[in-house]
């Protein structure tokens, strides 16, 4: 691979890369310096005047993932160096970068990872067909032959591929579909988090950077949203350079590539990754130099702004009025013809999936708290509460559980509007909404933590379920209000991102030529804080903002998506709640037991090793279970299985209890099979018959006790699981009916003969008392004679008795597995039902014995 890069990226091509990067960074640097002064003025003006808007009701966690990791586990990775699949251990820290090691022991020893993947700009693919389709677009004009094999063959049926338009691709595969779904949710969360790389806390640098990038792209004719506006500033600048550099390098290098189609695609991907790395390193160095220069000149600018803020505001308003007179007539005409007819349809397309996603966040939060309350009903102590709260505290950052919320937003479709308004794809809005969902979930969980912790202090002996319920109701109300505010803000921003670029593209040809003359109206001392290009965009924004606000307000009045009206403002509804936000984060496991002992046990040893052991993981690690899976022509470690994952998202709220019951008590099918295995052995003598009868009775008693335990644990059962279990039980009964009939006929025949012999003996004793000493000795011989003499009649009677007995057993097992009754009542009902069955069996045996004794007397 090194020879490939050095061959095609010689000194001449490296100089081209450096020149193109320098040109772009020079233009960007000038725009950034201009926008930095404007952003600084806007921030200082906002601090003085203040901003309106409703106050959030939920608390915000300052450091969400302190001492936490997201996920870790083992899977297969395809290595470009030797073109083989190898087992790798992946560890994802709170930075959401993927670190991969040779094995888990290398990570535990603190060794450096074999590599680190920054997922910004990547796409997660779950099929080779989708990957090959994207790979074919990397070299346009070159088509693969029909039936040609790709350079990569996946080792299993469940691949996961990280695809990037410029950087290296990564290939993974799993053994099971469940495992693939879990890793897919984790990788998607990594991409989602790293794409959101611009820090919102930087109120000056971030607006200056985004405005500079937007103005640069507009100067080159690119309006509208941009998919590669993701990652940190150096990554975004590298993407900006690669937009124009990559086609140029492709024209220079691809004619020299040799080999088959897929081999050339693979080599080009490696070359593109090397070019992207060079561009990113150069862009990062130059961007840091620009930021450092602007930060050094910030104090003088702040002095001027503080001194002349009123004059700057007055001058800006004067220039704005002049530009508005020029732009407003054209903008209103464009708005009436091309914007207003589409506002309602676009807003509806945005509101439907977004509202469903936020509703799912609310339901997930509610279900988790309900499950915790149910578990506290059985064992309601603070230690159990601490265990549950330790899991719920990181619910927002659990990618598997949150996946159901994120999937609601994936259905967003803007078909027919993308070409008209120059929207590249809805992924920009989808990922933004998903980030907001996660933030709202974390705010709700953090607020619930603080309220519950405050309620538990000084309230000994109170019912924990009632305390949880009170805190839950308070948080749900606050969440409804905050989610409404966040969604309305998101709708306004999304509509502006769709309409503003389109309007600027239509108005710029007629207005840009006249804008420079308005620069003469600005004093030279204020020219760094007032730019006519920014004022032009502000005028266009205010033109369309009125219609957007009206559309969102009408949607709130309709209450179709549970949006609060703007007039409903909850101010100071809970004044003491803000004070709780200043409290340190709560360590539930340490405060409610179990934390100190672990620390004492780790007091000796390396500090870094202790830190890694104490680091808690949001998603539980996939455990190594099942038989080892070996790839063809490879001796690799086993890929972990995912059959017992407690954090998997369930559709119903009682899924955790059902999983627990399934692990503790086996289903009735297994018990029936064991019982059938006992009954299949025919008795050879009287002692064997007694052993079989005692074994059968013992299994029935065990079944009764286990069923009572099962019903006590399984308070709620899914209707779907009940139906599936009934089908399996019926199939098992049908498959084993032939074996059961043959064995049960012999058992019941011997049993009925015993009863008949006893009854016959009693009748004889009444008639001839003198023969009592001889009857017990002759009874075994007489039993054998009766069995051979009346075989056909006994077979008919025992077959009918066995069928009725099997039907009762199936009915009782189905009733036990349903689990809808209360534990005490259900146990009593099962005992009563069992007693009825024993009575009916004894009556049947007596009737059979009487019939047999009559037949014997007849003989």
Give per-residue pLDDT as tens, 87-133.
999 999 989 999 999 999 999 998 999 999 999 999 999 998 898 88
User: In 199-286, which ranges are E strands?
Assistant: none
pLDDT at residue 186 is higher than 50 = yes
What is the spatial distance between Cα 634 and Cα 433, in angstroms, rounded to a whole number?
43
Show the tokens assigned to 527. Answer: 């020219």
Would you call 92 helix, strand, or coil by DSSP? strand
DSSP type of residue 338: I
CA neighbor of 478 nearest in space, from 446, 521, 523? 446
pLDDT at residue 823 is higher than 60 = no
pLDDT for 779: 40
pLDDT at residue 807 is higher than 90 = no
pLDDT for 835: 46
In what helix (H) or strand (E) does residue 69 lie, and over which residues does it extend? strand 68-69
Kindly report which listed range (250-254, 458-462, 773-777) carries the lowest average pLDDT score. Answer: 773-777
Most confident of the ranges 223-232, 325-334, 620-629, 800-809? 325-334
> What confidence category does residue 736 fall into, taking pLDDT thresholds of 50, 70 and 90?
low
pLDDT for 650: 40
Q: What is the mean pLDDT of the chain?
A: 74
Indicate yes or no: pTM above 0.85: no
What is the spatial distance between Cα 748 and Cα 752, in angstroms, rounded to a whole number?
6
pLDDT at residue 672 is higher than 50 = no
The percent of residues in the chain predicted with pLDDT above 70, rounded, is: 62
> What confidence category does residue 439 fall into, taking pLDDT thresholds of 50, 70 and 90?
very high
pLDDT at residue 165 is higher than 80 = yes
pLDDT for 389: 85
pLDDT for 460: 58
Show the tokens assigned to 478. Answer: 């606050």
The set of residues, in sequence order, having a beta carbon less than 8 Å from that of 775 and lying 6+ positions away, is 761, 764, 765
pLDDT for 17: 94
Burial class (CB in 10 A: 0-12, 13-18, 19+), 135: buried
When pLDDT is averaged across residues 694-720 and rounded to a whole number, the result is 49
When pLDDT is averaged across residues 444-457 and rounded to a whole number, the result is 87
Task: Dihedral sign for Cα 468, 469, 470, 475, please.
Answer: positive
Angle in degrees, 0-180, between the axes of helices 686-713 and 655-664, rounded to the nearest 10: 160
pLDDT for 339: 92
pLDDT for 478: 92
When pLDDT is averaged across residues 816-824 and rounded to a whole number, the result is 39
Contacts for 526-530 with beta carbons within 8 Å, 24 or more apart?
Answer: 526/308, 526/311, 526/312, 526/315, 526/316, 528/34, 528/37, 528/38, 528/301, 529/37, 529/38, 529/40, 529/41, 529/305, 529/312, 529/316, 530/38, 530/312, 530/315, 530/316, 530/319
141: left (phi over 0), alpha (psi -120 to 50) or beta: left
Angle in degrees, 0-180, between the axes of helices 399-409 and 340-378, rounded to the nearest 10: 150
> What confidence category does residue 303 fall into, taking pLDDT thresholds of 50, 70 and 90?
very high
User: In 140-203, which ranges are E strands?
Assistant: 158-163, 170-174
CA neighbor of 231 nearest in space, from 182, 172, 167, 274? 167
- Tens of pLDDT, residues 373-426: 888 877 767 778 888 888 888 899 999 999 999 999 998 888 777 677 878 788
When pLDDT is averaged across residues 456-467 and rounded to a whole number, the result is 72
pLDDT for 321: 94
In what order do the strands lie in the sheet containing 115-117? 115-117, 98-101, 84-92, 71-79, 170-174, 158-163, 123-125
Q: How far is CA 826 from the centre of its chain?
A: 37
pLDDT at residue 32 is higher than 80 = yes
pLDDT for 721: 65
Kindly report which listed range (12-16, 515-519, 635-639) carries the lowest average pLDDT score. Answer: 635-639
What is the spatial distance between Cα 731 and Cα 809, in angstroms, rounded to a whole number?
14
Task: Dihedral sign for Cα 541, 545, 547, 551, please.
Answer: positive
The set of residues, in sequence order, having a beta carbon less than 8 Å from that of 418 and lying 6+ positions away, is 424, 425, 426
Cα distances (Å, whole numbers) of residue 255 to 34, 141, 373: 42, 12, 67
pLDDT for 808: 43
What is the spatial distance between Cα 279 and Cα 166, in angstroms, rounded to a whole number?
11
The set of residues, in sequence order, having a beta carbon less than 8 Å from that of 741 and lying 6+ positions away, is 799, 802
> What confidence category does residue 454 fall into, taking pLDDT thresholds of 50, 70 and 90?
confident
pLDDT at residue 629 is higher than 50 = no
The percent of residues in the chain predicted with pLDDT above 90, rounded, is: 40
pLDDT for 730: 65
Angle in degrees, 0-180, between the axes of helices 791-818 and 686-713, rounded to the nearest 10: 20
The set of residues, in sequence order, having a beta carbon less than 8 Å from that of 174 and lying 6+ positions away, is 75, 76, 156, 158, 159, 160, 180, 183, 639
């Amino acid at each position: 691979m090194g020879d490939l890069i050095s061959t095609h990226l010689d000194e001449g091509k490296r100089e081209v890369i450096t020149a193109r990067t320098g040109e772009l960074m020079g233009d960007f640097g000038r725009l950034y310096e201009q926008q930095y002064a404007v952003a600084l003025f806007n921030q200082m003006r906002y601090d003085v005047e203040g901003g309106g808007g409703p106050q959030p009701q939920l608390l915000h966690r300052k450091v969400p993932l302190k001492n936490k990791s997201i996920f870790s586990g083992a899977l297969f990775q395809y290595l470009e160096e030797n073109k083989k699949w190898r087992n790798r251990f992946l560890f994802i820290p709170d930075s959401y970068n993927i670190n991969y090691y040779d094995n888990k022991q290398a990570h535990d020893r603190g060794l450096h990872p074999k590599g680190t993947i920054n997922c910004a700009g990547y796409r997660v693919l779950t099929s080779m067909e989708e990957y090959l389709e994207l790979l074919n677009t990397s070299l346009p004009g070159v088509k693969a032959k029909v039936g040609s094999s790709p350079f990569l063959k996946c080792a299993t049926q469940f691949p996961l591929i990280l695809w990037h338009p410029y950087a290296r691709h990564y290939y993974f595969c799993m053994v099971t579909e469940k495992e693939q779904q879990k890793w897919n949710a984790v990788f998607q969360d990594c991409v989602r988090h790293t794409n959101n790389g611009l820090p919102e806390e930087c109120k000056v640098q971030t607006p200056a950077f985004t405005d500079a990038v937007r103005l640069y792209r507009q100067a080159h004719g690119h309006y509208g949203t941009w998919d590669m506006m993701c990652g940190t500033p150096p990554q975004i600048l590298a993407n900006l350079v690669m937009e124009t550099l990559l086609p140029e390098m492709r024209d220079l290098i691809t004619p020299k590539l040799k080999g088959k189609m897929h081999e050339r695609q693979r080599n080009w991907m490696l070359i593109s990754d090397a070019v992207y790395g060079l561009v990113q390193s150069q862009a990062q160095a130059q961007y840091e130099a620009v930021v450092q220069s602007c930060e050094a000149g910030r104090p003088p600018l702040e002095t001027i702004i503080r001194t002349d803020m009123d004059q700057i505001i007055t001058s800006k308003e004067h220039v704005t009025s002049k530009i508005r007179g020029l732009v407003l007539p054209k903008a209103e005409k464009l708005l009436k013809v091309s914007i207003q007819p589409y506002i309602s349809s676009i807003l509806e397309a945005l509101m439907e999936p977004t509202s469903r996603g936020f509703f799912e966040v609310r339901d997930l939060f509610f279900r988790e708290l309900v499950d915790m309350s149910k578990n506290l009903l059985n064992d309601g102590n603070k230690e159990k509460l601490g265990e549950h709260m330790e899991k719920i505290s990181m619910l927002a950052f659990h990618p598997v559980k949150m996946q159901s919320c994120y999937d609601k937003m994936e259905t967003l479709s803007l078909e027919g509007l993308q070409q008209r308004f120059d929207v590249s794809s809805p992924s920009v809005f989808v990922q933004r909404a998903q980030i907001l969902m996660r933030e709202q979930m974390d705010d709700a969980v953090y607020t619930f933590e603080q309220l519950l912790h405050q309620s538990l202090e000084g309230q000994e002996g109170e019912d924990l379920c009632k305390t949880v319920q009170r805190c839950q109701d308070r948080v749900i109300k606050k969440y409804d209000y905050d989610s409404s505010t966040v969604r309305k803000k998101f709708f306004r921003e999304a509509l502006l991102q769709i309409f503003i670029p389109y309007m600027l593209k239509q108005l710029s040809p007629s207005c840009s030529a006249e804008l420079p003359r308005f620069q003469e109206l600005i004093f030279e001392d204020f020219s760094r804080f007032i730019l006519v290009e920014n004022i032009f965009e502000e005028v266009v924004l205010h033109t369309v903002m009125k219609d957007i606000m009206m559309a969102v307000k009408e949607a709130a009045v309709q209450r179709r998506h549970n949006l609060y009206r703007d007039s409903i403002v909850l101010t100071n509804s809970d004044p003491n709640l803000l004070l709780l936000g200043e409290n340190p984060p709560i360590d539930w496991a340490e405060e409610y037991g179990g934390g100190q002992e672990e620390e004492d046990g780790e007091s000796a040893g390396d500090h870094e090793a202790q830190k890694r052991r104490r680091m808690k993981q949001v998603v539980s690690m996939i455990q190594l279970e099942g038989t080892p899976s070996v790839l063809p022509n490879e001796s690799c470690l086993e890929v972990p299985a995912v059959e017992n994952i407690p954090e998997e998202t369930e559709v119903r709220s009682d899924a955790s209890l059902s999983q627990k019951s399934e692990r503790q008590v086996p289903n009735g099918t297994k018990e029936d099979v064991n019982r059938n295995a006992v009954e299949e052995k025919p008795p050879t003598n009287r002692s064997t018959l007694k052993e079989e009868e005692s074994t059968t009775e013992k299994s029935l008693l065990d079944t009764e006790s286990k069923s009572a335990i099962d019903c006590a644990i399984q308070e709620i059962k899914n209707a779907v699981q009940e139906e599936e279990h009934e089908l399996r039980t019926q199939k098992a009964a049908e498959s084993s009916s032939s074996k059961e009939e043959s064995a049960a006929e012999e058992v019941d025949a011997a049993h009925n003969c015993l009863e008949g012999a006893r009854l016959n003996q009693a009748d004889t004793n009444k008639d001839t008392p003198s023969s009592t000493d001889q009857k017990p000795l002759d009874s075994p011989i007489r039993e054998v004679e009766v069995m051979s003499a009346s075989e056909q009649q006994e077979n008919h009677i025992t077959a009918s008795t066995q069928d009725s007995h099997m039907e009762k057993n199936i009915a009782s097992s189905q009733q036990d597995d349903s689990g809808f009754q209360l534990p005490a009542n259900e146990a009593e009902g099962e005992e009563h039902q069992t007693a009825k069955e024993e009575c009916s069996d004894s009556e049947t045996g007596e009737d059979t014995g009487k019939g047999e004794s009559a037949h014997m007397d007849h003989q």
